[in-house]
Structure 1
Amino acid sequence: MPAYTVRFPEETKTFVFAQYACQAPSAEEAARGAASLSQLFTGPFKPDVLDRGSFVDTAGSHNVVWLAYWHNPVAYSLWQESGTVRSAWDGLPDEGRVGHWRETCVIPLERNETLHSHRHEDIATSGLSQHPAVTMPETPVHDYWGAARDRIAASATETLEPELPVFRPSVPAETGHRSRRVTVEIPDNVTLIRTAQDWSASTVYREKYLADVKPVKDRGVDFLAENADSGCIAARNILEETSDGAPLARACTIAWFASLDHLMTWCRSHRTHLEIYASFYQMASGGEGPLDVAFWHEVSVLPSGSVSAEYVNCHPSTGFLALPEHRHRDTASNT
C-alpha cells in the first residue's frame, strides 16, 4: 500500500501548530466560548489552515478546540503579539464555569515527519500538506515498526532522549475548575502526534471503517487518555466540525507523549494499538477497489523552549497540567 510524505521548499525550516480551546461542563457552553475565540483567527496574519473539533476529556468536561497552522513563524508571532489577540486572551476570566487553554508548538522540520495514505490532490490534507509549495512524493520508509523515527531527519544525528523518561501525573487536590491562570514548563523532547481519518468521500469502505475500525481506534485513544503509565501525558479523541460547529465526516487524535520511545512502544507492542493495526488491515484487504478512506498523521519531537502551554481556569487534568507541580507557574492575567 503506497504512502506519501510531505516535502517543503528548502528555505522552510519551521512551522507553527497551535491549539486554542474552551472547556466547560456542557457542550453548549464550550461551543459558545469557542465561538468567541473564533474572531481572533482573522486579519492579515491569520492561520494558513484552521480546523475545529470537539471532545470530552477524562474529567467529563466538554472541549471545543481550534487547530491552527502557520507555515511562517513570523506571521504567527505578529498574530500572537497583536493587540487584539493579547487583550482577548489576557482578558479571559480565571473563575467561573468556563475555562480556556492554549498549547503552541514552533516545530523544526527536521524534528517532524508526516505520512498520508493519499496524495494531497486526492482526498485528505493535513495542515502541512496545504502549504502551496509543498510536494508529496511516495516514500518507502513506512509499514514497519520504527519507520516514524527514520522519517525524522534529526534522528540521524540526535538520540532524542527525553528529559522526562518516566511520566507520573501530579495528583490533583480537587477535580473542578481552578481559579488560576497557569503556564507550564514543557520538558525537552516531548512528542506530539496528530493522526486523522477522513471518510467524507468514501463510498466503498465507509461502513466497514465506521463499524469495524473506528470503535477500535476510539478504545485505543481512551486507553492512552486514562493510563499515564503508557507515557501519554494527554490524548484527545476529536470529532472535527465546520467553523460554526456542524459535524464533519472527519476525526483526529491529538496526543502528547513524554518521548518518541513511549509513542513507539505503545504502537508496536500494546494490545490496544495492535488491535487498531489489525482492524485497519482487515478492512483494507477485504474490500473491492482502492481504499477511499483517507488517513494521515504528523509526529513531532519538540526541543526545549519550542512548546508553550497556558491554562485559564481549567481542571487539573487538562493537558500539561498533569505534569508535576514544580513545572507550573501562576501567571497574572494582565501580563
Structure 2
Amino acid sequence: MPRTGPPGHTPRVPAFAARFPEGSEAFVFAQYACQAPSAGEAARGAASLAALFAGPHGPDVLDRGSFVDTAQAHNVVWLAYWYDPGAYRRWLESACVRALWDGLPEEGPLGHWREACVIPLERNEILHSHPREEYATSGLCQLEAVDMPETAVHDYWGAARDRIAASATDTFEPELPVFEPRVLREGETRGRRVTVEVPGNVTLIRTAQDWSASTLYRERYLADVKPVKDRGVDFLAANPDSGCVAARNLVEESSDGAALDRACTLAWFASLEHLMTWCRSHRTHLEIYASFYQMAGGGEGPLDVAFWHEVSVLPSGSVTTEYVNCHPRTGFLPLPGRSGTGAG
C-alpha cells in the first residue's frame, strides 16, 4: 500500500483501522428510508419498514437516523450492514422482503427509497478514534469479526486513499468526472418507481460522532466542533459543483425513534478525488479539521468522544438504487442521463 505521508510522520492523536478476517472479500451497506412532509409521518413510515429486517438473513448491524433534506422533506433511514453478501442476497430475494417493498404505495404523501452497495474490502477503509473493544459504536465497528489495530496512516492529506488497498494499483478514475445535476419536475419522480444506474468509482463516506459516554470533551465538542461540522455538511448538500451528489446530516436514533447522543453524515461523491479535494482545500472542511484538533489538543485527558468514518470507492455495478414516489432531488435522481422506471 503506498504511503504519501511526510517522512517520519507521527499522528497527533491515535487512530485504529479496521481489519477483517483473512478470506473476507466484501460486505454490504444499505440505506432504506421513508420520506415525508413531516417528522411524524416519516417516523411512522420508517416503523413500517422495520418489518423488512425482522426475518431470516437480516443484517448483522442495523442503525437508524433521521435528517431533513434540501427540499425540506423529512427522512428516517435504516442503515443496514451484512458481513456476508450471500446472506444479503438471500434476504433481498426472500418473499417477505419482496412483498413488503414491492407493495409500497406509489401515490400519497409518503416516499420511500433504498440505496445499497456491495463493497469490496480492497476498496474500503474504516478509521476509528478508539479500538473496537474499548468503544464499540454504530456501524461496522460493532461486528465482532472486525479487528481494530492502531495505524499511523492518518492525519495527513491523502491518508484515506493510502488506507484503501486497491489504490496501490488503481487510480479510481471516475465514470462521472463532473456532476451537473438535472432539474427534474415533480411529475417525473412522484407516483413512480425510479431506478438509477450509478456510475463506477462513485465514493461513499459515512462519518460519525458519539458523545454519549463523554465526560471530558462533551461540551467542547457540542459547542465548538459539531456546529462547524454541520455547516460543512450543509455546504455539500447545497453545492453539487463540489462533486457531492448527496449529503445527509443524520441524528442517530434508537430503533423506536428516540434521539441518541450520536450523529453521522452520509455523503455520495462523484469520485474519491472530489471528496479529497473538498477535504484538503475547501474552507468548510479545513474549519472542521482545525476545530477537531483544537479540541483534541485541549489537554483535558484522553479523547472520550468517539469519531469514526468509512470510505468506499464503488466499482461499476456494485450500487443499486430505487426511489418510490420521492421528490426529484432525492439521492441519485438528479444524475444526468441514467434514470429509468421499473416495477420493483
TM-score, normalising length: structure 2: 0.95
The structure-2 alpha-carbon separation of the partners of 1:193 and 1:17, relative to structure 1 and needing over 3 Å to count, comes to: same
Partner secondary structure for residue 142 of structure 1: coil
Deviation at 1:179, TM superposition (A): 1.0
Stretches of structure 1 lacking an aligned partner (at least 5 in a row): none
Letter matched to residue 340 of structure 2: R
Partner secondary structure for residue 196 of structure 1: strand
Q: Tell me, yes or no, if structure 1 residue 193 matches structure 2 residue 202.
A: no
Q: Tell me, yes or no, if structure 1 residue 43 matches structure 2 residue 55.
A: yes
Q: Tell me, yes or no, if structure 1 residue 153 matches structure 2 residue 165.
A: yes
Stretches of structure 2 lacking an aligned partner (at least 5 in a row): 1-12
Alignment check: 8 A CA contact 2:63 2:138 kept: no
Partner secondary structure for residue 101 of structure 2: helix
Where does 1:1-335 land on structure 2 (aligned, <5 Å)? 1-174=13-186, 178-324=190-336, 326-332=337-343, 335=344
Q: Distance in 1 between matches of 2:64 and 2:189?
A: 23
Letter matched to residue 338 of structure 2: R
Q: Distance in 2 between matches of 1:183 and 1:174?
A: 16
Greater displacement, 164-173 / 299-308 = 164-173
Partner secondary structure for residue 40 of structure 1: helix
Deviation at 1:177, TM superposition (A): 6.4
Q: Distance in 2 between matches of 1:173 and 1:233?
A: 18
Deviations 1:239-276 (A, max 9, x none): 00000000000000000000000000000000000000
Partner secondary structure for residue 165 of structure 1: coil
Match of 2:8 in 1: none
Deviations 1:48-96 (A, max 9, x none): 0000000000000000000000000111011110000001101111111
Letter matched to residue 331 of structure 1: G
Greater displacement, 113-122 / 262-271 = 113-122
Deviations 1:210-233 (A, max 9, x none): 011000000000000000000000
Letter matched to residue 34 of structure 2: C
Alignment check: 8 A CA contact 1:99 1:177 kept: no
RMSD, aligned CA: 1.2
Alignment check: 8 A CA contact 2:137 2:210 kept: no
Q: Distance in 2 between matches of 1:240 and 1:126?
A: 9
Letter matched to residue 60 of structure 2: D
Letter matched to residue 140 of structure 1: A
The structure-2 alpha-carbon separation of the partners of 1:279 and 1:32, relative to structure 1 and needing over 3 Å to count, comes to: same
Q: Distance in 2 between matches of 1:176 and 1:250?
A: 36
Q: Distance in 2 between matches of 1:288 and 1:24?
A: 43
Please list every run of at least 4 consecutive aligned residues from structure 1 whose deviation after the TM superposition is greater than 6 angstroms: none
Deviation at 1:135, TM superposition (A): 1.3
Deviation at 1:131, TM superposition (A): 2.4
Letter matched to residue 97 of structure 1: P
Q: Distance in 2 between matches of 1:329 and 1:227?
A: 25
Q: Distance in 2 between matches of 1:279 and 1:322?
A: 33
Q: Distance in 1 between matches of 2:340 and 2:187?
A: 19
Deviation at 1:157, TM superposition (A): 0.8
Deviation at 1:132, TM superposition (A): 2.1
The structure-2 alpha-carbon separation of the partners of 1:197 and 1:323, relative to structure 1 and needing over 3 Å to count, comes to: same
TM-score, normalising length: structure 1: 0.97
The structure-2 alpha-carbon separation of the partners of 1:128 and 1:192, relative to structure 1 and needing over 3 Å to count, comes to: same
Partner secondary structure for residue 23 of structure 1: strand
Q: Distance in 2 between matches of 1:6 and 1:267?
A: 21
Deviation at 1:176, TM superposition (A): 9.8
Partner secondary structure for residue 54 of structure 1: strand
Partner secondary structure for residue 104 of structure 1: strand
Alignment check: 8 A CA contact 1:204 1:287 kept: no
Q: Distance in 2 between matches of 1:199 and 1:133?
A: 24
Q: Distance in 1 between matches of 2:56 and 2:100?
A: 17
Alignment check: 8 A CA contact 1:205 1:287 kept: no
Partner secondary structure for residue 63 of structure 1: strand
